[in-house]
Amino acid sequence: MVIKVKLREKKISGNRQSLYLDFYPAIPHPETGEPTRREFLGMYLFDKAKNPIEKQHNKETLQLAEQIRQKRENYLNKPEIYTGYEKEQLKIKEQGEQNFVTYFKCLADKRKASNHDNWVSAYNYLETFTKGNLKFADLNEKFCNEFKEYLLTTKSNKSNKVTLAQNSAVSYFNKLKATLKQAYKDGYLLADLNAKIEPIKQAETRRNFLTIEELNSLVKTECNNPLLKRAALFSALTGLRFSDIKNLVWSELEYIENNGYFIQFKQQKTKGVEMMPISEQAYGLLGERKEPTDKVFEGLTYSAYENKHLYQWIGAAGITKDITFHCFRHTFATLQLSKGTDIYTVSKMLGHRELKTTQVYAKIIDQTKRDAANKIQLDF
């Protein structure tokens, strides 16, 4: 039976056409063994090329795609003309010609929620650095280290006046490493390039927190936005993130006889399902119970305008620290550890996946103790 292989196009975003091979009849998928009619090449054409560069790109891409189509057709219909070694070399060469940046974007599109946004940000820097065109065959340690240096020195996409934060560079470079690891598993890379390159070191970040005295001062200080005040104090008593507080609904709160109040919810960031006990004081901040699907903090929003109320409230309480809403979560962790709660319990209450994420708060406590010890000075 003769298998026909046609080169076809499919519209994608950015006024482009993705190129793929159309097999008739269907052939077994090389990985799953299931019948398939399509094989996307990871190559694209500009739809209605507008300038000489785009026209040249289309011409060269079509020539390469046609070569791949011809070789695939020969491979399927005339297997005797290729030895096993030649078939493997043909496959390696074809995969090497595919676009790594496009492959990266495909992995980013599979991510969800906040992780997806982080992958998209990483893709934007990679796309800018490579101008959207990087073959698998051109990937090497030199490129990876040059991209690392680029992330550490480039301007932030959010503000062209400041350099990209180091911990953002850490995150984006880790996305590159994850993509290299997956590409090796998928057979696009002959060597595990990810294992050969060092990640960017995480920068030490200062996590501001409030003392119990400062928290009590905030309790007694009026805020122009009472809802924001209740939510912030609730975070300090529970360790919940703003996103989790904002999305909390009444059905997720329950009272268990002889055990007290609990929240059962899915964390917005980690997607982990948590069953977390909360104090009666924390429950008292929630107000009158409403319908199960109603939000507990209905109307809570995050904006520059609301942050203004937060800063005014902090200032009115006589606190001069640089405090954001997230600092109330830091406050919960720091106060729990200072009161003797073991780090494993604090880690579970914060919803951390790894204990090392919580250990940064232990460092804060150690430094606080050191500062306290140095306050007593004798005149020797």
- Tens digits of residue pLDDT in 195-232: 999 999 876 666 788 989 999 999 999 999 999 999 99
pLDDT at 305: 81
For 293-328, write each residue's pLDDT tens digit: 999 999 998 887 888 999 999 999 999 988 889 899
End of a domain among 70, 96, 122? 96
Domain for residue 148, yes or no? Answer: yes
pLDDT at 49: 85
**Ranges 23-37, 133-147, 160-174, 269-283: which has the least confidence:** 269-283
- Looking at the structure, tell me whether residues 76 and 173 fall in a common domain: no
- Looking at the structure, tell me whether residues 272 and 362 fall in a common domain: yes
Domain for residue 151, yes or no? Answer: yes
- Looking at the structure, tell me whether residues 83 and 113 fall in a common domain: no
Q: What domain count does the chain have?
A: 3
End of a domain among 50, 77, 96? 96
- Looking at the structure, tell me whether residues 221 and 369 fall in a common domain: yes
Domain for residue 302, yes or no? Answer: yes
Domain for residue 253, yes or no? Answer: yes
- Looking at the structure, tell me whether residues 364 and 246 fall in a common domain: yes
Range 3-17 average pLDDT: 91
What are φ and ψ of residue 203, in 5° steps?
-85, 145
- Looking at the structure, tell me whether residues 263 and 331 fall in a common domain: yes
pLDDT at 113: 62
- Looking at the structure, tell me whether residues 230 and 353 fall in a common domain: yes
Per-residue confidence at 194, pLDDT binned at 50, 70, 90? very high
Query: Percentage of the chain with pLDDT > 90?
Result: 39
Per-residue confidence at 282, pLDDT binned at 50, 70, 90? very high
Whole domain around residue 283: which residue ranges?
212-373
